Amino acid sequence: MLLETLTLLSPFVLQEPLDPKDKAPESSSAWTTSLSTYWYEPPDESGYLSGILRADRGVLHLEAHWAYEDRDTLSLFVGRTIPIEGEVSGAFTPRIGIAGGDSDGVIPAAALDLSWKSLSFTTDVQYLIGTSDDTSDFLYSWSELSWTFAERFSVGLVGQRTNVFDQELTIDRGFLAGVNLGPTYITAYWFNPDVDDPYFSIAIGAAF
């Protein structure tokens, strides 16, 4: 994705040891989940729906993708969330997954989420190692750099590298505009606006 090679360095804050009498936060044992759905209208191909389901409990991270690595393909991941604290805060989440369907393979992956004031950067990179004759190795990525200019509204840049459909560029890049509606959000993406065949995507997601 346009930003996939970007590397950000942020300060880590060492935490003081907890007093044995202190109880662990209740949230550390509670599950938090989110669902993101994406509708794509790629050039010269039929539109399709893709989805990402995430579940976290403490440092444990679980994830499932549909139609992300390929159409009619399901992938499942397990990983660990490593918090990042400081003026720039966020999380680093390495994980490992498997895919089956139109594409089959093993998928090492990692995600990085960072926030600083009203700016946010997210990137997710994964490498599909094909385990069937019909599946080629491929590097997938999705990155966003966004600015929240009002309580509910944000704009920014987006980039992705995908193998689900054929496109003119190796890395698709463009613009995003989003609205936050509490536990839900809607984001519109406009990819490759400077070429003959730009395309659009809309994402609807919720945390629960």
DSSP letter at 21 equals T
Provide the pLDDT confidence category of residue 44 given band limits of 50, 70 and 90: confident
Cβ-based neighbours of 12, under 8 Å, separated by 6 or more:
84, 85, 86
pLDDT of residue 108 exceeding 90, the answer is: yes
Quick check: is 23 in a domain?
Answer: no
Report pLDDT for 169: 84
The DSSP-derived string for 129-164 is: EE-STT---EEEEEEEEEEE-SSSEEEEEEEEE-SS
Residues in the chain: 208
What's the mean pLDDT when you consider all of the chain? 88
Quick check: is 19 in a domain?
Answer: no
Domain count, the chain: 1
Quick check: is 8 in a domain?
Answer: no
Quick check: is 29 in a domain?
Answer: no
Cβ-based neighbours of 166, under 8 Å, separated by 6 or more:
42, 44, 45
Quick check: is 65 in a domain?
Answer: yes
**Residues 42 and 199: beta-carbon distance below 8 Å:** yes
Residue 141 sits in a domain of what CATH number?
A: 2.40.160.40
| Six-digit token string for 156 | 């920014």
Cα–Cα distance measured from residue 30 to residue 33, given in angstroms and rounded to the nearest whole number? 10
Quick check: is 6 in a domain?
Answer: no
Least Cα distance to 68 among 7, 121, 109 occurs for: 109
Window from 17-21, 69-73, 167-171, 174-178 with minimum mean pLDDT: 17-21
Provide the pLDDT confidence category of residue 9 given band limits of 50, 70 and 90: very low
Neighbours of 30 (CB within 10 A): 10
Quick check: is 171 in a domain?
Answer: yes
Provide the pLDDT confidence category of residue 2 given band limits of 50, 70 and 90: very low
Q: Where is 176: in which H helix or E strand? A: strand 172-181
Quick check: is 53 in a domain?
Answer: yes
Strands 105-116 and 119-130: antiparallel
Domain span at residue 112 reads 34-207
pLDDT one-digit tens code per residue, 185-204: 999 999 999 998 899 999 99
